[in-house]
A = this chain, B = another copy of it.
Amino acid sequence: MAPSTAPDRTSLTADAWAAAALDAISHRGLEGVAVEPLARELGVTKGSFYWHFSSREALLQRALALWEQQETDDVLRQVAHETDPRRRIESLIGRINASKRASRIYQALSSAAHDPVIAACVRRVSERRMRFLLDCYRALGLSDHDARLWARMTYSVYLGTLQIRRDLPDEWPAADEPAFADYVQFLMGALIPPESADDGAPERDNHNGGPGAEEPAPTANRAARAAPDS
């Protein structure tokens, strides 16, 4: 009878709970992750929850793991196919208007850094993003020092834009307005160092000639780790 009511009545996986928890975070913040309200949303009761999880804390940890994985997978899928570092940066800048949900989760977690578990998770994600940018700028031929300056600035712009989009929605143009493409273009000019005419090679080959031809050598090029969100 009624084999397909609104939710699948068959069962509930732990990941379904974790996904619901992430949703709650994005909508109501971290404190919105409460067992009983979540159970109501899922059409079950606490009895179900405490079969899958030992505590609310366990749910949070699973949700964090899910988020961390999604966050890295997403970027890998969308940016990794691009090999030219300049285009990688451009692609990242162009994705500045991506998922509101992802940015809400990120900001909620970041502002809940009292919890050391959350803080460590946020830190790992941030480090991966930063390292990705750093590698992009190094691949442009910048020194480690200069690449760090540029990466810091670009990542700041990225994070700050998420904030502006939330705090000043009027200030942020819709993705289909010309002002949006306009601003993205402006950023691409401002956040990518000039060609530096004397240094002709746009992509300076790696000093380690080894895996130059081998495309996915993971040891030499860690630029395939992760980066900003979707």
Contacts and interface: CB of A to CB of B under 8 A. Distances in A.
Interface of A: 27-29, 31, 107-108, 110-114, 122-123, 126-127, 130, 142-143, 145-146, 149, 152-153, 155-161, 163-164, 166-168, 171, 182-183, 186-187, 189-190, 193-194, 196, 201-204, 208-210
Given A126-B167, A160-B157, A149 B202 contact: no
Given A156-B160, A160-B158, A209 B183 contact: no
Contacts of A164: 126, 130, 152, 155-156, 159
A183 B149 contact: yes
This chain: copies in complex: 2
Contact of A204 (B107, B126, B194): B194
Nearest to A189: B202
Contacts of A187: 153
A176 to B, nearest CB: 18
A145 B178 CA distance: 12
Per DSSP, chain A at the interface is: helix
A146 B143 CA distance: 31
A113 to B, nearest CB: 6
A176 B13 CA distance: 51
Contacts of A209: 142-143, 146, 193, 196
Contacts of A204: 190, 194
Contact of A149 (B127, B142, B186): B186
A123 B169 CA distance: 9
Nearest to A186: B149
Given A155-B164, A157-B160, 6 more contacts: A113-B166, A126-B167, A130-B171, A145-B210, A146-B209, A156-B164
B168 A29 contact: no
B114 A168 contact: no
Contacts of A210: 143, 145-146, 149
B152 A114 contact: no
B111 A107 contact: yes
Nearest to A28: B114
A118 to B, nearest CB: 11
Contacts of A113: 166-167
